[in-house]
Every structure is written in structure tokens, then in C-alpha cells.
Structure 1
Amino acid sequence: MGSWPKESPLSLEQICIEYCVNNLWLLVEEYPLMQGVYFRPSIAFPRGLSDKLLECMISKIPYLKIMEQNIFRLFCDRSYCVLTCLNLRHTSVDLKQLKHLCQHPVSEIDISYCEEIRSNYISAINQAGPNLKLLRMGGKLEGYENLTLYEELDTMYDLDRGDILRNNDKVLNCPNLLSLTIKDVNFIEFNPDEDCDNYHDDPNGIQEDEKLRNFFKSLFQPMIKLTQLDLSGCQLRNDYLDILSSLRCLTFLSLSDVLDGSVSALKSIAKIRGLRHLDISQGNDDTFNVPVRYSHPEAVLAELVQSLPHLTSLDISGTNLAGINHVEPSSHRLKPKSSTYIEEEPVSCCIRGLEGRHFDFLGLLDCTGDACYRQGIPAKLITGEASEAQILLSIHRYRDKPHLLTRGLNNLFQWFRNPPPNITDHCCALEGILHGMNLNKHDKHVQISGSASLFYIAKGPHKESITSQQKKRMIDCLLDAMERHNTETTMMRNGCLTLCHAEIPKDVMYCYDRLVKVLVNMLKVEMRQEYGDDFIPRIGIFLLNSLACQVDGKHKEAVGNLGVVEMMCKIIKHKLTLAECDEVLEVAWSTLWNVTDETPSNCQKFITEGGMQHFIACVEKFPEKEELLRNMMGLMGNIAEVKELRVQLMDPKYMSVIYSFLSSTKDGIEVSYNSAGVLSHIASDSPETWTIESPTRNEVLRGIVQAIERWPLSSKRNINYRSFEPILKLARCYHTPAVQQWAVWALCNLTQVYPDKYFPILETEKGIELLNVVFANPSTLPAVRMLANSILDTYRKFKDGTEQIMEDVVMASESEDDEHL
């Protein structure tokens, strides 16, 4: 089992880089005439640090208040920074910016899955010239055309002479290139349709397929130093592969999802005799879980392997090249009794064609004949589904092959969901999933399958071992997937379920706004689909409520600005239309209660969105729903705390409903208590502000006192105060004794039932001093004085008990010290 990494802080360098990125506006200036932002003249980043700064910026694009295009513009000027590595995978860098960035002395470029770069990019890459050692490009993106060489061929081909003239017959002028990845590119674009009888010829009589072969030759043949080539998913003619035999240094060749059972292609590959690693796996959607079949597979495999004497790594996943499992006939005769010496019988090779060879790696995922389950597989490392080791190796090995990775992740999920057997190495699984999801953000199948297993890791027996950095990467991964694939219900479900196992809000404070946006947008999408799955709104509102209930006013205000109040009001309106009171409706009101707590701007948003009309409608339609009534009245209390908004509550239809709840016994004392609180705040203003005839102010004040006298002082509460400031204001309300009585009763109840929680708050906000003043004031009513005295008496006992506990701790510590003397 792999060990979990130790919890450790970020390096000082990383902390500084993240600080710079998080405070980017300290480093840049906006130049309207130049239509962009640029580093300040005094700013300069050295080689190495510039790469890390760009990488950090790209990873934080969703958090930054700067357009992604402006980030790339920042790095176009080489006088401020020097880049050596361009990892632009999955970004929206455009061709113009790429040309500027490639003027840096870069040795590595990755423009895989870049939606803005689909053609005319070769000239930009050639600017890197002799410095370039690694290049990755291409990759399928849903909704975009595949990367094409069509324009490159047009611009480089001289129709008068019929050959390629530029860059000394080189397409890529990168003489020191060691590693090249080109994915999902069509190298037979100009081939005729199957129905055509003749090739399309140019005016000089040169057939299109000949042009493309010459182009392919001009692209690869000059790369004399190339050691690694990955053409996964490309469309090639089999005879093109002969050209690769001229690459004398080539030791690594990946043709995953290329050959489709072509024996002639394998014969061409066999000529590249220096290969040490060969990948001819198949996993594309056309053959999903149906292995690609070669004719005479065992003979074909044997011939291929015999032709490649240096081969130590071979991947034939998703094919029939492993043949069938040949079981040796066994005798039923009794064996002689064992002697003192037992000779261990060698296990014969279970794959015809590989006899006499032993590999460092063999890929057997989804091969025919259950190849990965066989005994005697001639390899140290094997991908497949027969064991935990095979499954975990699959998700690590195929992290840049989305089709095979999806299969590996599905196998992992099945083991998590249906034990035994169990996945024991959760750390290895977690790292494999995160790497795979990050490299394949575009692929919804990878994201859905990966997030399904993340759920089991997040809630599993090793969840306490997950480091804070791993947890952060996991949350980032989920948010990336939920942003890109927000119409995929399964993806949103998996993401929300996994996030529920995070410690909210602590684990997500660094991405608080981003998470709120994701959840609000998810609810918008779900509303457009008319709640096809009721689970999504339930869990989305639950998470928003969790995010809102334990943060301060700054974050509550941010939640309001991100559209949560409007969204909750829409959900409430929808539920009213359906006349449906369920958990979604109740939690929507609970969320509004939390986001309006000591946040006047959100209270105003609620009123603006027609919230008071929704309140009346819910009371009329669902008068017996205790949880609903409690949440709504809590929200009314938050509005009543805002002096400027009380006038909007001073309406007979609102006040009569709130007043009627004074006598309510629903949900213990909660509904009645909240009603009294709302009315106390309104009555705390001068009598002149009471502008309605019914109920009268005196009726309300009498009702408050009568309600207080009914409530048991020891009542358990379903409420959470983070501050007593609004209540302490009412405790100073000598001109209206009923209001003061409600405030002091509330403090007495809370500190008596929950002293450890609420006395520290009361101390911090100078409530003890205020209660001493209230107790000593001769105008204080006897009932209020008695409550204040009770609080002060309980406080003295609380302090004495705390001091006694501290004395006991000190004495115990001194006693231990004496023992060690």
C-alpha cells in the first residue's frame, strides 16, 4: 500500500508566487490606448520564475478578476520575463499571442486542446526553432473542428513545382526536437471519397494523396534526433508508417487508436527496429469495450515482437493480439508423495507470440480472452482489471489517453462501489484520478468516471489522511469539471456529493465565490430543464445554505451579489406554482435566512425580488409546516433588524400574519419567539412610526409579554447566533419595556441553556456591563430585572467553574513536572 504524503506547508517560493498572482493588480497597469494590461515598468521576473508564475496564473484563471487573454498578453514582452516552458493546454490562447510567446527561448510547448488554435500554427512554433525539445498539440474538443494541417499544406506547397520549398524541405524547423505528440489530426484530409473513381489532381497532375505523403515525409523525416513520437487518434495511411523507419533515434512510438486492425501497418512498424516502447492499443468510442480484431493475431504478434529485439514495453489493450488462453492438458493421475526437495515448475508464457520474452510493461486492458487474468504473463507491470495493482496502473498509465483512462476509471469505480475486493491504496487512486482529470478537462466521460471514485475516497476510511494540498487539488478538479460540463446531470451530482464531504466552509474559503457561482449556475440550468432530477436542486441548495450559514457579512454580501437571493426566490416561486412544500422549499427559506443575517443589502434584494409576497403565499398554502414557518420567521427577523427596511414591513397584511404567530406553539417556541423578535424590532422605533391601524402597537406589545410568560426559560433552541449586537440594542430600549423584556429573556435563555457557547460572545460584546446597568436602572421592570440578575448570577458561576477548571489543569501540569524531577 502506498503511503500518504506528510502534511507540509508550501515552499516560500510558492507562497510568494501565489501572493503575486492573487494580488496581480499590484504588479500590472491598464493601458487603454494599448487595449490591455501589462506589467509595471519596474517589474521583472527571472528565467525559471517566469514559468512558474505563468503556470500559477493559468491554474487560477477561474479565480482572477482579469481576462484570460490579458494573462497571455502580460507575457508577450520579453523585457519583463523570460519563459522556457509554455504549458498552454486547455487554455484559450490565440494564434497571435502564441506567436509572441514562442519568441521566448522555450524548450517545451504544449498547445493540446486549445480551442483557439486549430490551424496556421506551424509558423508560430517554428519561432522556437533550435531551442524546442518537446512539443504537444492536437486533441479532440467537442464542438470544435480537430486540429488540421490543411492550411499548412496549402501555404507550404508550391503548385508550380509540386514540392515543399520552405525551411529547407522541413515543415517543423525544430532540429533538436526530442519528443513530439500530435493527437487526433487527419493526415488523409485530401484523400477522395470512397464513391469517387479518380483522385483529385492538381493542374500539374500530382495526386492529392501524393501531396499528403510528401507532406508527412517533410514533417517527420528531418527530425533526426526524435526519440518519442505519439500520434494517438491520428488518421494515417498505412504506407505513411514506412517513413518513420528513417527515424534512427526513435525508441518510443504510440499509435493508440490509429491502426484499427491493420496487419500491413504492423509490418511497417516492425521496420523501426530501435523501438523500446510501442503502443498499438485501441480504446476509441467506435470500439468501446469491443476489442479490435486482427487476422491471425498470435502469428502477427509473434512476427512483430521478433522484429523488435529491444522492445521492453508493449501495449495491446483493446485488441485481440493476446489471442486465446491456451490451457495445457493436465493429468488426473495421483502425484507421488513430495520428497524433501521440491522443484518449482516454471510457469509457461500465457500469450502466444511472446514466448521467450519478458517485458517491463504489458498493456492488456480489455483484451480478448481475459488476457489480464491469466497466469504466466511475461511482464513486471500489467494494466487490466484483474487486480487492484492492474487497475491503479491503468489510471496512471493512460492518463493522457481519455478512452482507455475512462475504462480504467470505470473499473476503479466498480471496485469502490462493490467490495470485496477492496481498493486499499486510496492515495495512489487519488493521485491517478486527479492527474487524469486535469489532463482531460475536455472529456466528460473522464470527468464523470473520475468524480464518481473521488466521492468514495472523500468519504472513505482514509479521508483524514488526505492532505490539505490534495484536498485543494480535488476541489479544483471538481469545480473545473462542473464548470465545463454543467449540463451533465451525473457530473453535477458527483461533484456535489463529493463536496458534501469537505469541511465547509473551511476547505473552500480560497474558492468561495467560484463555488457559489458554480452552484447558482447549476440551479439555473436545472430550472431550465424543469427539475428533471429533484436531487440536484436539493443538494445544490443544501451546499449554498452550508456556505452561507458560517461566514461573516463580507462573504454573505458576496453570496448575494452572485445571485443567490434571486435564485432562492425563483425556486420558492416555482414550488408555490406546484403547491409543493418539500425539503427544497424549506432549505431555500433557510438559505435566505442565513444570507440575510446582518446583511442589509441581501434583505433589500429579498424584498425587491418579491420575497414578502412569497412569504404570505407560503403561510397561506402551508400553514402547518413548522420547519418552513420557523425559517421564514427567522428571515423576517433579519429584515426587522434593518432600521431602513422596517417601514416596508409596516403593512397590515404582513403585520397581521406576524402578529398571529405570537400565540403559535409550532416547533416549540421558535415560531413564536421569532415573531416576538420581529415585532420587538419594529416597536423599538418611536410610536410615530407605527402607521397601521391593526394590529395596534399596544396590542402587539401586550402580545409579546404574554408570549414571553408562556415560554419555558430552559427551552432548547434551534438557532445559531454569531453576534448579540441586535439583541443588545433592544436591551437598551427603556422607553418600551416589552421590547427590553424580549431581549433580556433571549439572552437569559441562550446563556442558561448554552453557557459555553454564548457567554464568551456576551463578554466580547460587553453585554455583561450592559446587563449590570439594566439591573441597576430604577426604571427597569421587575420582570426584566429578575432576568438580568439571573444572567449575571449564571455568569458568575460560569466564570468560577472556568477558573476552577484552569486551576485543575495547572495543578495537574505541575504534578506531572514534579514526577519528572
Structure 2
Amino acid sequence: NSCKVGYLSAVNDALGDLCLAQVCRSLDALCSRRADGSMCLSWAPILPQEMADHLLLKMATKGILNDTTVGIFQNCKELHLHRAFIRCCPVSAEAFRLALCPHRLQELDASWVPGGLTGANIVSGLASNPVCRSSLQRLYLTGLHVDRESLVEDGGTRVGFSSLHGLRMLNLAHTDLTDAVLEDICTLPQLESLDISCSAVSKLTALLDCKNTLRSVIIHRLQQLDMSPDRLLFVFSQLHAIRHLDFSEDHFAVGDSDRRDGDETVRQLLNGSPQVLPSLVSLDISGRRRITGAAVRSFVVARGGLVFLGLLATGTSSCDILSSHKNLKVTGEANENQVCEALRRYRDRECFIREALVHLYNLTTDIDKPRPDMLKLVLSGMQNHPTSLHVYLVATACVFNLTTQDLAVAMPVSLLSSTVTQLLYAMKTFPNHQQVQKNCLMALCSDYILQDIPFDKYLAATLVINWLRSHEDPTLQRMAVAVISILVAKLSTEETAQLGKDVFIMKQLLAIVQQKAMAGVVDSTMKFALSALWNLTDEMPTVLESYYTEPSIQRKVLGLLNNIAEVEVLQANLMEEDLLEHILSLLQDSQLEQGVRYFAGGTLAQLTSRPEAWTLDDELRSSILKQLHASIMTWTQLEREMVSYRSFRPFRPLLQTWQPSGVQLWAVWAIHLVCIQNTSHYSSMMEKDGVTELLRALAAHPDAHSDVKGQSDSVLRVVEQHQTGRRKTAHRHKVYSKLAY
């Protein structure tokens, strides 16, 4: 029965979540607008209070909560809020006052709200509702400007945190909180938990005013703290109700002299009597470098009820006493449990996340089992520190370790999808950091991830292409081209066309193919580049049309098509009417450079040379053959070397006596072109590949077109003149040899 109840509860939660997501997507249709532009629900059923809280949370997490949309909670009898989450959402002071302050709030998270909403705005707004003064128990204002002047006086009436007398938990980390405001806070009669980390507080004496209620104090990295070790220890010793104390430090950011007094206080606390902080069960002193293993041992032995100890970046987490306490959780670097505990506990602290990730990287270098739990922790670190290069540098390396080879296959698809999204974010955010880019590229270079995991393939392709612009490392280049070749096959027709307009990527891929071809190398890089080009040129007319101002690219694209057209089994893939008509227009365009027209003619000659394989309209083939012949007769021989061939074998089918004159003419003209530029090399190739014999047959055939005969005779004369010259030179050498003898 308990299992059935749990299952039904999970189903209800899932259905509720889907419904709220649909409401978020349909807000425009469900709402009207007030005069100030804010939204108002046209009609709504009375929702359970928890559902209203979840709707606000869903709007916030989906990034649609702002001054306009928060209006649905204003004067709405159907939506009653108890827990309001507006973290990181652009909500102004006025919108906050109108939409949220009238509710009977028990909890409010307004951390890191951009746009000028201050702690004073929030406190005065909440205090304006007499119900909120006593109902609000938890308040999170991390990262906000406190605005002390507005807090103290408002129209002659004192308004401060103390006016919210129901508060039990208050978070003012990363604020400009001052000693004066802290004194006001510490008069709260029920305050149990206080976080003033990274604030401007210099004295902690005010904590003595709430020593009987305070259960948790977090004072991480108080850079302006100005108290002697003895005075600090005295304050701590009076906090008899404290169960959790966090006096950790950022060991990266603080100078040696700034940390000394705090470290001395910690040393005295560890070595002191258990009568100091007698209720303590949780202590975090991570980042304190001057403590010793002996002090830690003494403290753990004296505190039998200890459940947590933060020792990351202290050098003492390998103390043997820690492993003997099974119920004690520790953050440190001595083992996997300590590192993972650090990643869980320090989600919001960049200094500790980067430290823990370094140790996690070392732990996962040779990992051979899938660890989705670790990947979740790495993902959380990246998501919580989107601007930290230090975090992303190590986190992306950890992602590669945790997803390499077959490890990714065992990971949840949703987890991998979110992880890849963060990798793309890293590539976009840190475009000039080579190691981050390399880490992301290596992690992406996985068939399983590229083929089976959903993510923004178009964004990924553009980012990897941009990476190629400034990197020539052969290994990484191979990976990048491999990734691109797979990604472009996954794109829509519109995305492929858009990507194909990128002049650089076409140049880069064609250059790779050309480089490999010239070297006679057929490796994986060349195959991947050809695959990418194949997919990018799938909509070839659109791609070619975008390169009218780039004749070098047009020439290379058409050269690639020419090569493809030579392969009989691939010719069917080029039988697209729009494609051939566009290539025909290039052939006929006298304004284009002759190299473009040459390769256009070669592609058309190959495709029309096999009537049995022609699948399009016969009139189109006849028109192509007619225009091919006419265009070639207008060409002039080029002086510079435009093309080179390793074999004339692909020309043999085109030189058969039964071929149409346009096909024959292009083949003969092509042979003539290269023979003139390098006669000694190509004349021997002609003999070897049997082309000389075919040209003689064409020149002598009674049905051959006169233009073909004339061109064939020209080639044969060039070869004959070269051979005659060689014979004369050989004869002269023989005569000279006899004379010398």
C-alpha cells in the first residue's frame, strides 16, 4: 500500500508539473493586460496553495518571471502564495510590492535579483503587510545591495530587519551588510540561522544578542573582519545553542596576513575545551591552512556527537581518525567520498568547487565504471558558476573523463543532454581559451553523444567550425572535422543551407580534402571532411549561389562535385534537376572565371556520359550536351596550372567513339590543358593509361565531330613534338658522348 501511495503521489506530481509548464507556455492567451502592462489572469480556478507556489517557481526557473508576468499574482484571489521564489529574476521594487507583498509569505528567495531591487525595498515592502511581519520565517537576499540608509528610516518610522519579527532564517551572503544592520538583525527574537558570508561586517559582537536562539552561523570569508583571536573565541564561546558553525575561508583570494587571525582562532577552537560551543555537531573550517592533523584529531575525539567536518584545502582531511567515525561526513581531498561531499555542500562557493573538481579530475583519470552521480555534481558546479573560467576549465576535463569511450552509454539521456548544453555554453563563453575548447571538443567527439543525445546540433556545429578557424593541430583537427561531419547530417534543410553559407567552413573542408588528395593520403580526416561536404552541399544550388563573390570556393566545390561525378555508383545522388540546371548556368556564364566553368563542364560531362544511368528528362540531357559543346569552343587555354591529375583512367569512358561530342570535347580539352602545362609528365601517363590510343581513334573516326578531331589532333601534336624533342636531345647527347670519347 505504501508503494502504491508513493507511485500515485509521483504520478500526481508529474501531471501537476506538466500542467504548470503548459500554463507558462500559454500565459499570453490566458491573460489580459492592466494599464501598466502587467498581466492579469482572465479566469482561473482556485488553486491549492502549494500549486500557486509551484507556478511561481516554474515561471522563475523557465526564465519568464518579470515585471509583466508577476502581475498574475497581484490581487488574485485564486492564487495564494506562501513560498515565493524570484531568484535571479528581473523584478522591480514596484512590481515586488504590488504582486508579492500582499501575500501571507512564509519564505522568500530574492537572491541575485537584477535591476535594482534592494534589501531595503524588500524589507519595507514586506513590513507594510502586518501579516508578513509575523508570518515570514525564511528570507534569502544573497547578492543584493542592502541600502542601509533606506532601511533605518522611512518617513520617520524605524524600519529594519527587526520589524520582520517572525524571521528564523536569514541569508545576507555577498551583500554590503554592515555592523549597524547586523546589530538590528540580532535583535530578532526567533532568529535561528544566519548567513553573512562575504559581507562587509567587521565585528561579530552583535551575535551575543541572539545567543540563546541562534543554531547556525555561516561566516565564510569575512574579509573585513577586525577582531583578535581571543575576542573571536570569546564570542563563539557564548553561543551555547550553536549546532553548526561555518568559519571557512577562500584560500585562493585572501592574503597571508589577512587569514592569520582567523586561523589562530580556529586552532584555539580545535584545541580548546568541549565546553566552548557545547552543542556543536557541525564545523566547517575549509580553506584554513594553518591547522594541523593533531588538532583535528583532538577535536574529533572530544566531540563524540560530531556529524560534519569541513576540511577541504586544509591539508588535514587524510587524518586517520576521520575514517573510524562512520557517521561523520567530511569535505576534503583524501578520498572519493570527501570530494563528492565537497561538491554537494559547496555548490555556491567557486573557490571550493574548483578545488574539489581538481581532485575529482585526478580520481576519474582512469575510471572504468559509469558514474552518473559524479557527472551530476560536475554539471551542478558548471551551472552554478556560469562565469568562472577556473570552474569550467577543470569541469570540462572531468566531463571528458566521465563520458569517454563507453561510459556515456550508461548515463541517463537527460543528464548527458544537460551536460552537452553546458559544454556548448563553455565553448561560447570562453572562445579564446584553448584548453577549455579542447576539453569540450574531446568530450563531444563521441558517436553515442553526437548520434543519440538531444542538444542544439546547429549551435554545436557553428561553435566547432569557429574553433577550426584558429587551430591546426592534426589530431584535434581530425576530431573537429569528425564532429562536424556527424552534426551536419543531423541538421534540418534550412540549417544546412544556413551553415553552408559560411565561406570559411567550405574553404576549410575543401582545403583539407585538397591537401590530403595532393599528398595521396586517404585517412579518417579526409573521409570526415568529404562526409561533411557531402551533407553541406546536399542543397547544392543554394550553396553555390551564395558563392558568386568567392570564385575560389565555387571552383573547389565544383571540383569536389566533379570528383564525385566520376564515381558511377555515386552519380545517382547528383541527379537533381535544380542542381544540374544551376551548374549549367555556371557553365554558360562568361563573367565567371574559366576554372569554375571548367569544373562545371566536367561534372556535366560525367553525368551525361552514361545514358543508361540518366534518370531525368531527356530534353535536359540534350540541352546540356549542346551547351557543353558550345561553351567549350569559347574557352582559351590557361597559362597557369589550375588542375593536376594522378591518372587519366576516369577519362577513358568519355573518349569512346560513341559518346556525344560535348562529352568527348571536354575530356580532350582537359587532357590538352594539363599536357601543355606539363608535357613530360602527362605524355607518359597518356601512354600508360591508354589515352593516346583513344585520341588517335577519335581523330580518325569518320563520325567524330570536327571540333573533337581538331582538339584530339592538337593533343597528339603536343605529345609528338615533345617525344621528337626528347629523341633529338637523346641523339645530341649520344653524339656529344662519342666526341668526348
Shared fold, TM over 0.5: yes
- Unaligned stretches of 5+ in structure 2? 1-7, 517-523, 634-648, 655-659, 664-741
Question: Residue 297 of structure 2 aligns with which residue?
Answer: 351
Residue type matched to 2:546 in 1?
T
Give the Å deviation of 1:157. Answer: 4.0
Alignment partner of 2:161: what SS? coil
Alignment partner of 2:238: what SS? coil
Question: Residue 236 of structure 1 aligns with which residue?
Answer: 201
Q: Measured at CA, do residues 572 and 624 of structure 1 come closer, stay the same or move farther in structure 2, by a change above 3 Å?
A: closer
Residue type matched to 1:416 in 2?
T
Q: Measured at CA, do residues 408 and 268 of structure 1 come closer, stay the same or move farther in structure 2, by a change above 3 Å?
A: same
Question: Residue 14 of structure 1 aligns with which residue?
Answer: 14
Q: Measured at CA, do residues 517 and 297 of structure 1 come closer, stay the same or move farther in structure 2, by a change above 3 Å?
A: closer
For the residues of structure 2 that align with 1:385 and 1:447, how far apart are their CA atoms?
A: 19
Give the Å deviation of 1:279. Answer: 1.0
Which of 530, 534, 538 in structure 2 is aligned with 1:593?
A: 534
Which of 409, 420, 428 in structure 1 is aligned with 2:373?
A: 428
Residue type matched to 1:307 in 2?
V
Asked if residue 134 in structure 1 is aligned to residue 138 in structure 2, the reply is yes
Question: Residue 604 of structure 1 aligns with which residue?
Answer: 542
Residue type matched to 1:89 in 2?
R
Question: Residue 786 of structure 1 aligns with which residue?
Answer: none
Alignment partner of 2:280: what SS? coil
Residue type matched to 1:185 in 2?
T
Residue type matched to 1:249 in 2?
T
Give the Å deviation of 1:318. Answer: 1.3
Q: Measured at CA, do residues 464 and 169 of structure 1 come closer, stay the same or move farther in structure 2, by a change above 3 Å?
A: same
Which of 494, 514, 517 in structure 1 is aligned with 2:459?
A: 517
Residue type matched to 2:357 in 1?
L
Q: Measured at CA, do residues 26 and 394 of structure 1 come closer, stay the same or move farther in structure 2, by a change above 3 Å?
A: closer
Asked if residue 565 in structure 1 is aligned to residue 500 in structure 2, the reply is yes
Give the Å deviation of 1:611. Answer: 8.2
Alignment partner of 1:547: what SS? helix
Asked if residue 180 in structure 1 is aligned to residue 170 in structure 2, the reply is yes
Q: Are 1:479 and 1:518, in contact at CA under 8 Å, matched by a contact in 2?
A: yes
Give the Å deviation of 1:401. Answer: 1.9
Q: Are 1:89 and 1:111, in contact at CA under 8 Å, matched by a contact in 2?
A: yes
For the residues of structure 2 that align with 1:497 and 1:241, how far apart are their CA atoms?
A: 53
In terms of mean alpha carbon deviation, does 689-698 or 111-120 score higher? Answer: 689-698
Deviations for 1:350-374, whole angstroms, at most 9, x for unmatched residues? Answer: 634554223211111121xx31122
Asked if residue 89 in structure 1 is aligned to residue 87 in structure 2, the reply is yes
Question: Residue 198 of structure 1 aligns with which residue?
Answer: none
Q: Are 2:562 and 2:599, in contact at CA under 8 Å, matched by a contact in 1?
A: no
For the residues of structure 1 that align with 2:38 and 2:608, how far apart are their CA atoms?
A: 52
Which of 306, 330, 339 in structure 1 is aligned with 2:275?
A: 306
Give the Å deviation of 1:257. Answer: 1.4
For the residues of structure 2 that align with 1:410 and 1:634, how far apart are their CA atoms?
A: 53
Question: Residue 102 of structure 1 aligns with which residue?
Answer: 100
Question: Residue 191 of structure 1 aligns with which residue?
Answer: none
Give the Å deviation of 1:673. Answer: 7.7
Q: Measured at CA, do residues 177 and 488 of structure 1 come closer, stay the same or move farther in structure 2, by a change above 3 Å?
A: farther
- Unaligned stretches of 5+ in structure 1? 1-7, 140-146, 159-163, 188-211, 326-348, 664-671, 700-705, 712-735, 740-821
Question: Residue 392 of structure 1 aligns with which residue?
Answer: 340
Deviations for 1:69-121, whole angstroms, at most 9, x for unmatched residues? Answer: 76556666746744443434344444444444533444333333334346454
For the residues of structure 1 that align with 2:46 and 2:429, how far apart are their CA atoms?
A: 32
Q: Measured at CA, do residues 310 and 265 of structure 1 come closer, stay the same or move farther in structure 2, by a change above 3 Å?
A: same
Give the Å deviation of 1:251. Answer: 1.0
Question: Residue 493 of structure 2 aligns with which residue?
Answer: 556
Q: Measured at CA, do residues 86 and 265 of structure 1 come closer, stay the same or move farther in structure 2, by a change above 3 Å?
A: same
For the residues of structure 1 that align with 2:86 and 2:350, how far apart are their CA atoms?
A: 18
Q: Measured at CA, do residues 499 and 467 of structure 1 come closer, stay the same or move farther in structure 2, by a change above 3 Å?
A: same
Q: Measured at CA, do residues 242 and 34 of structure 1 come closer, stay the same or move farther in structure 2, by a change above 3 Å?
A: closer
Question: Residue 145 of structure 2 aligns with which residue?
Answer: 148
Give the Å deviation of 1:545. Answer: 3.6
Larger radius of gyration: 2
Deviations for 1:526-569, whole angstroms, at most 9, x for unmatched residues? Answer: 75xx5598888875664444233146xxx332454xx42333x2
Question: What is the RMSD computed on CA atoms of the aligned residues?
Answer: 5.1
Residue type matched to 1:276 in 2?
R
Question: Residue 382 of structure 1 aligns with which residue?
Answer: 330
Deviations for 1:500-526, whole angstroms, at most 9, x for unmatched residues? Answer: 4473566444x43xx523553575587
Give the Å deviation of 1:458. Answer: 1.9
For the residues of structure 2 that align with 1:545 and 1:572, how far apart are their CA atoms?
A: 12
Alignment partner of 2:353: what SS? helix
Q: Are 2:270 and 2:299, in contact at CA under 8 Å, matched by a contact in 1?
A: yes
Asked if residue 270 in structure 1 is aligned to residue 204 in structure 2, the reply is no
Question: Residue 51 of structure 2 aligns with which residue?
Answer: 49
Question: Residue 249 of structure 1 aligns with which residue?
Answer: 213
- Alignment TM-score, normalising by the size of structure 1: 0.61
Q: Measured at CA, do residues 116 and 574 of structure 1 come closer, stay the same or move farther in structure 2, by a change above 3 Å?
A: farther
Equivalent pairs: percent with the same residue? 17
Q: Are 1:634 and 1:674, in contact at CA under 8 Å, matched by a contact in 2?
A: no
Alignment partner of 2:235: what SS? helix
Question: Residue 637 of structure 1 aligns with which residue?
Answer: 574
Q: Are 1:485 and 1:491, in contact at CA under 8 Å, matched by a contact in 2?
A: yes
Q: Are 2:87 and 2:111, in contact at CA under 8 Å, matched by a contact in 1?
A: yes
Q: Superposition pairs for residues 415-494 of structure 1, below 5 Å?
A: 415-417=363-365, 419=366, 426-459=371-404, 462-482=407-427, 484-485=429-430, 488-494=433-439
Q: Measured at CA, do residues 687 and 464 of structure 1 come closer, stay the same or move farther in structure 2, by a change above 3 Å?
A: closer
Q: Measured at CA, do residues 37 and 111 of structure 1 come closer, stay the same or move farther in structure 2, by a change above 3 Å?
A: closer
For the residues of structure 1 that align with 2:481 and 2:89, how far apart are their CA atoms?
A: 31
Question: Residue 328 of structure 1 aligns with which residue?
Answer: none
For the residues of structure 2 that align with 1:466 and 1:365, how far apart are their CA atoms?
A: 28
For the residues of structure 2 that align with 1:75 and 1:532, how far apart are their CA atoms?
A: 56
For the residues of structure 2 that align with 1:609 and 1:270, how far apart are their CA atoms?
A: 77
Question: Residue 366 of structure 1 aligns with which residue?
Answer: 313
Question: Residue 216 of structure 1 aligns with which residue?
Answer: 182
For the residues of structure 1 that align with 2:252 and 2:609, how far apart are their CA atoms?
A: 61
Question: Residue 547 of structure 1 aligns with which residue?
Answer: 487
Q: Are 2:405 and 2:446, in contact at CA under 8 Å, matched by a contact in 1?
A: no
Structure with the larger RCO, 1 or 2 (CA within 8 Å, 6+ apart): 1
Give the Å deviation of 1:411. Answer: 0.5
For the residues of structure 2 that align with 1:234 and 1:363, how far apart are their CA atoms?
A: 21
Give the Å deviation of 1:243. Answer: 3.3
Deviations for 1:97-149, whole angstroms, at most 9, x for unmatched residues? Answer: 4444533444333333334346454345556544433222334xxxxxxx432
Counting helix residues as a fraction of each chain, which structure ranks higher?
Answer: 2
Question: Residue 803 of structure 1 aligns with which residue?
Answer: none
Q: Are 2:501 and 2:546, in contact at CA under 8 Å, matched by a contact in 1?
A: no
For the residues of structure 1 that align with 2:139 and 2:447, how far apart are their CA atoms?
A: 38
For the residues of structure 2 that align with 1:548 and 1:394, how far apart are their CA atoms?
A: 40
Give the Å deviation of 1:660. Answer: 2.9
Alignment partner of 2:240: what SS? coil
Which of 263, 266, 286 in structure 2 is aligned with 1:317?
A: 286
Q: Measured at CA, do residues 20 and 526 of structure 1 come closer, stay the same or move farther in structure 2, by a change above 3 Å?
A: farther
Q: Are 1:270 and 1:304, in contact at CA under 8 Å, matched by a contact in 2?
A: no
Q: Are 1:448 and 1:490, in contact at CA under 8 Å, matched by a contact in 2?
A: yes
Residue type matched to 1:251 in 2?
R
Alignment partner of 2:141: what SS? strand
Q: Are 1:252 and 1:278, in contact at CA under 8 Å, matched by a contact in 2?
A: yes
For the residues of structure 1 that align with 2:627 and 2:307, how far apart are their CA atoms?
A: 89
For the residues of structure 2 that align with 1:619 and 1:22, how far apart are their CA atoms?
A: 47
Alignment partner of 2:390: what SS? helix
For the residues of structure 2 that align with 1:433 and 1:674, how far apart are their CA atoms?
A: 58
Question: Residue 116 of structure 1 aligns with which residue?
Answer: 115
Q: Measured at CA, do residues 603 and 169 of structure 1 come closer, stay the same or move farther in structure 2, by a change above 3 Å?
A: same
Q: Superposition pairs for residues 743-782 of structure 1, below 5 Å?
A: none
- Alignment TM-score, normalising by the size of structure 2: 0.67
Q: Are 1:132 and 1:174, in contact at CA under 8 Å, matched by a contact in 2?
A: yes
In terms of mean alpha carbon deviation, does 309-318 or 379-388 score higher? Answer: 379-388
Give the Å deviation of 1:425. Answer: 7.8
Q: Are 1:478 and 1:495, in contact at CA under 8 Å, matched by a contact in 2?
A: yes
Q: Are 1:516 and 1:544, in contact at CA under 8 Å, matched by a contact in 2?
A: no
Give the Å deviation of 1:389. Answer: 1.5
Q: Measured at CA, do residues 606 and 690 of structure 1 come closer, stay the same or move farther in structure 2, by a change above 3 Å?
A: closer
Give the Å deviation of 1:50. Answer: 3.9
* Count of residues in Structure 1 that have an aligned counterpart in Structure 2: 604
